[in-house]
Structure formats: structure tokens, C-alpha cells
A and B are shown apart, each in its own frame.
Chain A
């Protein structure tokens, strides 16, 4: 690494060398995050099809394989799907706004990937260790709604427009509940930095995780996350039985696939954030021998996979919400719960130190 830095210094001079070196290094790190993420997205689609198939007593994709190896049957399916999507024509409707029609998928996937910049994968592995990390992620995920709105408007189609309207109102509503749930986490951890939030949950066992004192907030955050990613049972934005496919009804080929990628990348992001801020991130559930032997990164992956399973489980289990009930859940149920919990938490934090240092409270308030 230092050798490369010196090489850049010699090549571009002392003023430009360090800047270009940082640029190159960060680009390499971005590729190192985005490539596994996209691979994870591809295999999440396979996992979704397989898991839902098993829940419905079917087999799921079991044909496409690599080099004809029989026990890999089904594992080639995401690759085959990607190749198929690449080969298809992107049809632009005649009345559509061409520029915005093409921009919409880009505006959806860019924030979904940009949010990963501040996610720590282990105490040292983080691309941008900034102070306001959590706030940055909230800002980036709130940008994602533009892709949906613009896609619906630029398609010049009634169904797409209805889907975009539904999605915009829904995402803006659930963002509030999500933000308030995260405020509780900030109050406990005294930090907006994701690494510090995980460090605040250290202490030897899973009882120290913020899941225990903030259990209602975990539920609010996770359900809002499902609603924000427009997943079932909150998928009224695409509701195929009502408005065909919602905002992406006019999209085909790779343009459609990019929306699809963004949705799954956002699902993984919500699961990752929930495991970082409520489930202790890379910390093992018990600080004893068999658990501590497993590296922290693997623990994080296990927690993410566990939460992602819930996304798939929800989709196979629940019927779609009616639109007015979605709004009611967001505004009249979640936001009051979070507000009450913030006041309660503030009151507990103002207790005299002798209470906070006594047994149950000293686990979380340090």
C-alpha cells in the first residue's frame, strides 16, 4: 500500500499524487463492496424463489446449472436471468419523456448503492468512517423515492403514474417512523457513527444489544423498512392485481432489472442496518469459546441472512395491505409508539446515576 502511494507521488508530483492515490484506492474499495453486493442480490432472488417455493410445497428453480454438474441444479438461474435481461430490448413508449425515462432506473440504483459507503462490516472494514453515518444513510435512502416518482411520470402511463403516487406517499410517511425509531438508538449510543453504535452494544452477551431495551423500536424499524422497500405486504406501488406492475409497467429488459436490483439492494441494506444497530453487528451472541472463534464478519452475515429470511417469509405469508390501512399503520400507530418511547427513554436517561448503574439498566446505559 505504501509502495503504491510512493509510486503515485513520483508519478503525479507531491500536490496531485496523494489526491489521486486516495481516489484510486477508494474506487478499488467501492468495487470491492459493490461486486459482492450485486452477487448477493442475484442469489437473494434465487433464495427468494426457492424459499417461497418450499413454503408453497413446490421445488422452485431446479434446471440451470454450471457445466452440467447435477448437484448445482438451480444455482445458475440468477446468471441466466441476468443474461436474458441483457439481451432484451429496452422499449421506450412513444409518449414518454426519453431522458427522464432512462434516468429513473439510474436514480433508483445510485442511492441504493451509495448508502453502502458508510456501512462497517467489521471494526476496521469501512469505506467512509464519517461521524454522521446514520444520518447519511437516512438521506440516501430517502433519495430513492425520486427514481420511482420519475419512472411513473416519465412513462406517460396511467398505471405507472398511480404506482408512483402510491409509492411516494408511502415512502415519505414511513420515513418519519423510521427516523424516530433511529432517534432512540442515537439516544442510547450517544453517536451517529455506525461503528460506535455497534461498540456501544459490547458487553459480553446478547442482553447488551439494543434489541432488548428498544424491542418495540426494532419492530417499528423493520416493518417500516419493509414498507420503504415496497415489499409485500406493502407492495401497493406495484400491486400486480390492481395496477398491473405499478411504476415499472412500461420498463423492459435491463431498465426493469435495474429497478429490481435496487429493490433487493435496499432490502439487504435494511437488514444490514437492523443487524448493526439492534442485533449487535459483528458481536457474537455470547462472548465464550465456540462463538468467539467465528470471525465477526461471519456473525454479521448470519444476522443479515436471518433478517432477510423474514422479508421472504412475509411475502409468502401476508396478503397485501389496503392503501388506507398502510397510511393508518404509519401515521396513527407507528409514529405515536416511537414518540412515547423517545419520551420514556429520555425520562430513564435523566434518572440519578445510582439507578443507571444498578443491575438491569447498567447493561445498556453507559
Chain B
């Protein structure tokens, strides 16, 4: 067993254990944190596959931003666990069926002839100055430019829709316009009065 194998098995064990923890943890905050750990170890596995751009982007986007906000929401909500558990046995057969179908599909893909290990040789070792990022950028902006732009537009539409659905203008809120605040001069607010002193009766 080489050093690389040990790293792989270490990451794989942590990944599977933390993924199991996500669905078994009782505390939703613990589950969210275990999901963060799962993403992080997954990024480690991708690094072993020499996909450094994707691995670091996974950490940057999912761990850094998405899960941070997710955790934020989970901490604020404080869900009632007993109510969430109520219909467990009622829905169990349906969930089990879904899980079986998913497992069968994955088995068909992984055990089928096309994707088996002898059909997929190890990626060739690259030179030290080979830049994963540059290759990915070249492919995205040349061969797959339409698919890429289409995905970008769909995301933009989703953002606009999300904002349009949740934006409500409350008339009761009061706010200051900072540009007006900055423009204020002393003469606008203070009136200097020259007044002779008065004698007390």
C-alpha cells in the first residue's frame, strides 16, 4: 500500500462516516457541520484525482458560502424534532423504495462494462506546469460556451425570481440616504443667533 492509497482510504473513511453522520445526527447543527466535513474530505479526494481547481472551488463555494448561510438558517430556526419525526414509519416504505432505485442505478453505472476499472485507466501524470484551471477555462469558453452561457442565464433568472418573490416594500420602514447625509452642511442644521443678554427681573 503506497502513501497515496493510505491518503485515499483515510479521506474515503472520513467521507463515508461524516455522510452517515449527516443523516443520523439528532442535532441539525451537528448534521450541517458534518456535511461541511463531508464536503471538505470530498475536496481532498478530488485533489488526489488532480482536479485542483474543482476541489478548491468546492471548498470556496459550498463550504465557504453555501454551508455558512445554511448553518446560519439552521441555527436561527431551531426546528421541533418530535414533529419532524412524526410520519417516519408512514413514509418509510416510499423512502426505502427510492433508496433502492438509486442504489440499483448506481450499481448499473459502476458495475457495468463501460465504467468498470479496466475501462478507465488512471489519468496520465501531467507536467509540473500543467494548469488545470487554464484547461478548464479554455474548454468552458470555447467548446462549451453555449452550455456555459445558458447555465449562467438560468442562474440569473433564478436569482431575479427569488428576489422578486420575496421582496416586499414596507412603508413603515424609515431609512436615511447616505449620500444626502454626507452632503449636509452646518448651515442646513444650525442657525447662529446673536442675542443680547437679558437681565433677571
Residues on A with beta carbons closer than 8 Å to the beta carbon of B60: 135, 138-139, 142
Q: Does A124 contact B (CB under 8 A)?
A: no
| Residue pair B75, A161 in contact (C-beta under 8 Å) | yes
Q: In the complex, how many angstroms separate the beta carbon of B72 from the nearest chain A beta carbon?
A: 5
Residues on A with beta carbons closer than 8 Å to the beta carbon of B59: 139, 142-143
Q: Does B53 contact A (CB under 8 A)?
A: yes
Most B Cβ at <10 Å: residue of A100, A145, A165, A325: A145
Q: Report the Cα distance A132→B59, complex, angstroms.
A: 13
In the complex, which residue of chain A has the Cβ closest to the Cβ of B129? A131
Q: Report the Cα distance A161→B36, complex, angstroms.
A: 20
In the complex, which residue of chain A has the Cβ closest to the Cβ of B40? A143
In the complex, which residue of chain B has the Cβ closest to the Cβ of A140? B59
Partner of A131, one of B57, B76, B133, B178: B133
| Residue pair B63, A135 in contact (C-beta under 8 Å) | no
Partner of B75, one of A130, A132, A153, A328: A153
| Residue pair B56, A168 in contact (C-beta under 8 Å) | no
| Residue pair B64, A142 in contact (C-beta under 8 Å) | yes
In the complex, which residue of chain B has the Cβ closest to the Cβ of A186? B133
| Residue pair B132, A132 in contact (C-beta under 8 Å) | yes
Q: Report the Cα distance A138→B63, complex, angstroms.
A: 12
Q: Report the Cα distance A293→B59, complex, angstroms.
A: 42
| Residue pair B68, A168 in contact (C-beta under 8 Å) | yes
In the complex, which residue of chain A has the Cβ closest to the Cβ of B1? A15
Q: In the complex, how many angstroms separate the beta carbon of A118 from the nearest chain B beta carbon?
A: 11
Q: Report the Cα distance A131→B129, complex, angstroms.
A: 8
Which A residues from 103 to 159 make CB contacts under 8 A with B?
130-132, 135-136, 138-139, 142-143, 145-146, 149-150, 153
Q: Does A192 contact B (CB under 8 A)?
A: yes
| Residue pair A143, B63 in contact (C-beta under 8 Å) | yes
Residues on A with beta carbons closer than 8 Å to the beta carbon of B57: 135, 139
| Residue pair B52, A132 in contact (C-beta under 8 Å) | yes
Q: Does B65 contact A (CB under 8 A)?
A: yes
Q: Report the Cα distance A328→B178, complex, angstroms.
A: 10
| Residue pair B53, A135 in contact (C-beta under 8 Å) | yes
In the complex, which residue of chain A has the Cβ closest to the Cβ of B132? A131
Residues on B with beta carbons closer than 8 Å to the beta carbon of A100: 29, 33
Q: In the complex, how many angstroms separate the beta carbon of A7 from the nearest chain B beta carbon?
A: 18
Q: Does B197 contact A (CB under 8 A)?
A: no
Q: Does B175 contact A (CB under 8 A)?
A: yes
Q: In the complex, how many angstroms separate the beta carbon of B30 from the nearest chain A beta carbon?
A: 8
Q: Does A235 contact B (CB under 8 A)?
A: no
Q: Does A2 contact B (CB under 8 A)?
A: no
Q: Report the Cα distance A91→B33, complex, angstroms.
A: 24
In the complex, which residue of chain B has the Cβ closest to the Cβ of A153? B75
Residues on A with beta carbons closer than 8 Å to the beta carbon of B13: none
Which B residues from 52 to 78 make CB contacts under 8 A with A?
52-53, 56-57, 59-60, 63-65, 68-69, 71-72, 75-76
Q: Report the Cα distance A175→B57, complex, angstroms.
A: 14
Residues on B with beta carbons closer than 8 Å to the beta carbon of A325: 178
Q: Report the Cα distance A153→B78, complex, angstroms.
A: 11
| Chain B proximity mask over A161-175: 1 for CB below 8 Å, otherwise 0 | 100110011011001
Q: Report the Cα distance A15→B3, complex, angstroms.
A: 9
In the complex, which residue of chain B has the Cβ closest to the Cβ of A161? B75
Q: In the complex, how many angstroms separate the beta carbon of A31 from the nearest chain B beta carbon?
A: 21
Q: Report the Cα distance A100→B131, complex, angstroms.
A: 38
| Residue pair A131, B56 in contact (C-beta under 8 Å) | no
Q: Report the Cα distance A56→B16, complex, angstroms.
A: 56
Q: Report the Cα distance A149→B68, complex, angstroms.
A: 8
Q: In the complex, how many angstroms separate the beta carbon of A295 from the nearest chain B beta carbon?
A: 27
Known: A168-B69, A328-B178. 13 other contacts (CB 8 A): A130-B52, A131-B130, A131-B132, A132-B132, A135-B53, A139-B59, A142-B63, A142-B64, A145-B68, A149-B71, A150-B33, A168-B71, A175-B64
A-B contact pairs, 28 of them (CB 8 A): A16-B3, A19-B2, A19-B3, A100-B29, A100-B33, A131-B129, A131-B131, A131-B132, A131-B133, A132-B53, A135-B57, A138-B64, A139-B56, A139-B57, A139-B60, A142-B60, A143-B63, A143-B64, A145-B68, A149-B68, A149-B72, A150-B33, A153-B29, A153-B75, A171-B68, A172-B65, A172-B68, A192-B133
Residues of B within 8 A of A (CB): 2-3, 29, 33, 36, 52-53, 56-57, 59-60, 63-65, 68-69, 71-72, 75-76, 129-133, 175, 178
6 nearest interchain CB pairs? A142-B64, A19-B3, A139-B60, A139-B59, A135-B56, A131-B131
